[in-house]
Amino acid sequence: MIRATILDYGAGNLHSLSKALAMPGVSVHISTDPALAIDTDVLVLPGVGAFTGAASFLAPGRTTIRRALTDGLPCLAICLGMQLLFDASDEGPGAGLGFFPGRVRRVNAALVPHMGWNTLQDTTDPLAGDGALASVYYAHSFACPPADPGVTTAWTVVDSDRFPAIVRRQRTVGVQFHPEKSSAPGVRFIHRFLADAAIGRPAV
């Protein structure tokens, strides 16, 4: 049994994400303490809320969480969660975790927020690289261009704006889309992540 902990920023309904994480061998928990949330096998940063409020919420545990990710704690960061992995955001003041160097910026498209289904392009991520996750669901106004484009393992295009759909470093995966809202392929993506996270877990 592995423990997956969702860090609740205090906004949004986490029911669909909890349901998507549920699979045999996984125990799903919700924490409202950013410093204690790392006492887990898998950390999940959910995708609902505004950057400034969430960054303020994370502030007491910012160094602790970043160190845990650097030390190899598996983390799945979704939409806003992915943005919080970066240094800062044009959405508003506040410091992100800085795990990926770069600044979050507004999506450059005629219609913002970018909502609905869109395709993944140039996908090399092992969790989605077989084409099983070709189309995913988005609900966001901001995107995450990393300082190092090499961490990007899938892209999405809106109008002429091309931005990362998936970024990966060590055992941390950030996704700009919502896999929990991306039908059965999105849930399988989450389950693949959890299965990978279980590999190499120290024996009890």
pLDDT in tens, 13-60: 799 999 999 999 999 999 999 999 999 999 999 988 899 999 999 999
pLDDT in tens, 171-202: 999 999 999 999 999 999 999 999 999 886 54
- Indicate yes or no: pTM above 0.75: yes
Element (H, E) at 166: strand 161-169
**Core vs surface per residue 160-192: b (16+ CB within 10 A) or e:** ebbbbbbbbbebbbbbbbbbbbbeeebbbbbbb
Got the DSSP string for 69-85?
HHTT--EEEETHHHHHT
Nearest CA to 9 among 90, 69, 94? 94
User: Per DSSP, what are the bridge partners of residue 76?
Assistant: 44, 173
Active-site residues, by number, are 79, 178, 180
Homologous superfamily of 2-198: Class I glutamine amidotransferase (GATase) domain (3.40.50.880)
Domain ranges of the chain: 2-198
